[in-house]
Every structure is written in C-alpha cells, then in structure tokens.
Amino acid sequence: MTIDELIEGNLAFQNSSFKLFKEDFDVLVEKGQQPKVLFIGCSDSRVVPDLILHSKPGDMFILRNVGNFVPPFKADNEFHGSAAVIEYAVSILDVEHIIVCGHSHCGACKALYQEFSDDIGLIHIRKWLELGRKAKTQVLQQYSETLNQEELYRKTEKVSILYQLENLLTYPEVKKRVDEKRLEIHGWYYKIEDGMIEAYNQENKRFEKMN
C-alpha cells in the first residue's frame, strides 16, 4: 500500500465509516476514554486487533510491539514504552482485563532461532528478543526430538505467551489488582490462517478454542 492510497483511505473513512461511529466519537471526546481492556498484541501487520475482535473506538487500550512481549517491571529512570502503557492502562484507566495475544507465524518467535549480526542497526532487536529466550529454551528442552522446525515455532509462540503473563505479574499494581480480583489477565493465541482465537485454560494448562 502506498502513501497516496493511505491518504485516499482516510478520505474514504471520513465520508463513510466515520459517520457510523460519529456518536461514539462525540461521547469519547466529551467524556474521554474509559476502556475496560488492555490488549497487548504483536506489531505484525497481519494482526489487527479491532478487525479480529470487531471492537469499536474506545473499547480497548492497545499496546503493540515486536512479539507481543512484556518486559518485566524495572524500577529505574530509563525509558520504558511498553511498561508505561501497562502502568497507564492499570493505574490511570483502571482496566479490568489485560489480554496478551500471540499469533501464528510470528516473526519474533521465529527470529529466536536465528543468528543476528552485530550490526548497530539491530542492537535494539537483539536486546528485545531476550524476552522470548525462556520460551525457546523450554520448547527445545521438551520438544526438540519430537517436533519439526515449523512445529517448534508454533509451540514457541504459545509458550511465550505464558512467560509474558508471568512478566505482567512483576508489576506491583497488576499483581495487587489480580490478587484483589479487580483485574483478570488472559493469554490468547490468534491463528492468522483461519481467524480463530484460542484462550489459555489455567485449569487444563492448555490453549482451547474460545466459544
């Protein structure tokens, strides 16, 4: 898609789709946003949260990054974009649900199995991928002799979601609200090939198709 096509798309939006949500936008402008859900998803261009979930403006506060990774809480004075989104959603917007949504054919999870050069242009990618290292290690330890490479990628995508949920609980306010049952966290897995979402069942310890 070209820049000109994007501009044409916005004009089409103003003249058609925007009108369908005009009342919603008027309320959101007047009263501000009050989403009940923080959606943490991948920056992958094939993963479009509002399209996948048929949600409307104002329904979800959305964080997208490479691999839908959640950096663990770290109390320092550095720049932490993803952490700031989580804190804002929980402590300011008072969301009631956090969804960590991984997906099939994830480039970040596949990249965990690849070697990167020491090029300065990849310095932040190399560091960021460390957030998926535990998932890769676990998958190789348990499945390296039984699964082929593509199957290892799929398994890593799902196991990574569980580690990101663990990282969420390192945030003091998230942990506090979960313990007080004021906040629920969810692990979802979106399949690009058929649009289906599987949710992690804590009791059965597996991902299951959502009804």
Q: Which of 116-120, 137-141, 160-164 has the lowest mean pLDDT?
A: 116-120
Question: In this predicted structure, what is the pLDDT of residue 75?
Answer: 87
Two structure tokens written together for 15: 């003249």
Rg (CA), the chain: 19
CATH number of domain containing 129: 3.40.1050.10
- Whether 211 shows a pLDDT value over 90: the answer reads no
- What is the pLDDT at residue 12? 94
Name the H helices within 77-132: 81-87, 107-111, 123-128
Distance CA(105)–CA(111), nearest Å, equals: 11
- Indicate if 37 and 120 belong to the same structural domain: yes
Overall number of domains in the chain: 2
pLDDT tens digits along 143-156: 999 999 999 999 99
The average pLDDT across 50-73 equals: 97
Where is pLDDT greater, at 119 or 101? 101
pLDDT tens profile 159-169: 999 999 999 99
Structure pTM? 0.95
Q: Are 50 and 91 members of one domain? A: yes
Q: Looking at the structure, do residues 114 and 89 belong to the same domain, yes or no? A: yes
The yes-or-no verdict on residue 118 having pLDDT over 90 is no
Considering the domain architecture, whether residues 47 and 3 belong to the same structural domain is answered as no
pLDDT tens sequence across 65-92: 999 999 999 989 888 999 999 999 999 9
pLDDT at 11: 96
In this structure, the answer to whether residues 150 and 195 fall within a common structural domain is yes
Verify that 22 and 119 share a domain, yes or no: no
Same domain, residue pair 39 and 17:
no
Q: What residue numbers bound the domain in which 25 lies?
A: 1-30
Residue 129 predicted with pLDDT over 90: yes
Strands 197-201 vs 184-190: parallel, antiparallel or unpaired: antiparallel
